[in-house]
């Protein structure tokens, strides 16, 4: 994925790196679900990715410089982390989600985070990117005056799920 793209077109280069739907789902699950291990990614997705497909996508994302894979010692699971390039895909995922929410059938519990990201605009995206840098790259988090973006997103999701159960 990091090799020479088919053409010099920036859109083509991005599609070659991220154009596979499973790669985008892996990034989504790492960013919004904090899934960083193979089994978490395999079992935690509503879409039901096959283990061989997941393995292939993880290898491609690592080779493309979007993820890193910690070397696991015997008896330990390998952990995946986003690189800076991976973290910078967040605005792309938000834009893709904005289009999907506007033009495709979705469910409230699976789109509430997207809605909040849209309403929060670029500042919320930047805040979440800072959180991802802290979590995946060890970069210190800037101070926050209230709940962090990830906490607000999770609270909204839990509220919609709870409302669905009771309403």
Name the pLDDT band for 1 (thresholds 50, 70, 90): very low
Q: Map the chain to HEC letters.
A: CCCCCCCCCHHHHHHHHHCCHHHHHHHHHHHHHCCCEHHHHHHHCCCCCCHHHHHHHHHHHHHCCCEEECCCCCCCCCEEEECHHHHCCHHHHHHHHHHHHHHCCCCHHHHHHHHHHHHHHHHHHHHHHHHHHHHHHCCCCCCCCCCCHHHHHHHHHHHHHHHHHHC
pLDDT per position as a tens digit, 47-56: 999 999 999 9
Q: What is the pLDDT of the chain when averaged over all its residues?
A: 91
**What domains sit in the chain, N to C, each tagged with a CATH number?**
1-83 (1.10.10.10), 89-167 (no CATH)
pLDDT per position as a tens digit, 38-81: 999 999 888 999 999 999 999 999 999 999 999 877 777 899 99
What per-residue confidence (pLDDT) applies to 95?
94
Determine what percent of the chain is predicted with pLDDT higher than 70: 95
* Entry pTM: 0.89
């Amino acid at each position: 994925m990091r090799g020479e793209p088919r053409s010099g077109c920036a859109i083509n280069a991005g599609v070659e790196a991220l154009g596979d739907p499973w790669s985008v789902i892996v990034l989504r699950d790492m960013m919004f679900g904090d899934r960083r291990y193979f089994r978490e990614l395999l079992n935690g997705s509503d879409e039901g990715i096959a283990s061989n497909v997941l393995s292939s996508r993880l290898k491609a994302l690592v080779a493309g410089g979007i993820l890193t894979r910690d070397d696991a010692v015997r008896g330990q699971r390998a952990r995946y982390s986003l690189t800076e390039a991976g973290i910078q895909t967040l605005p792309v995922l938000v834009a893709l989600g904005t289009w999907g929410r506007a033009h495709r059938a979705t469910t409230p519990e699976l789109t509430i985070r997207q809605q909040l990201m849209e309403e929060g605009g670029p500042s919320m995206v930047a805040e979440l990117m800072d959180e991802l840098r802290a979590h995946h790259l060890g970069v210190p988090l800037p101070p926050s005056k209230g709940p962090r973006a990830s906490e607000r997103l999770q609270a909204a999701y839990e509220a919609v799920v709870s409302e669905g159960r009771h309403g």
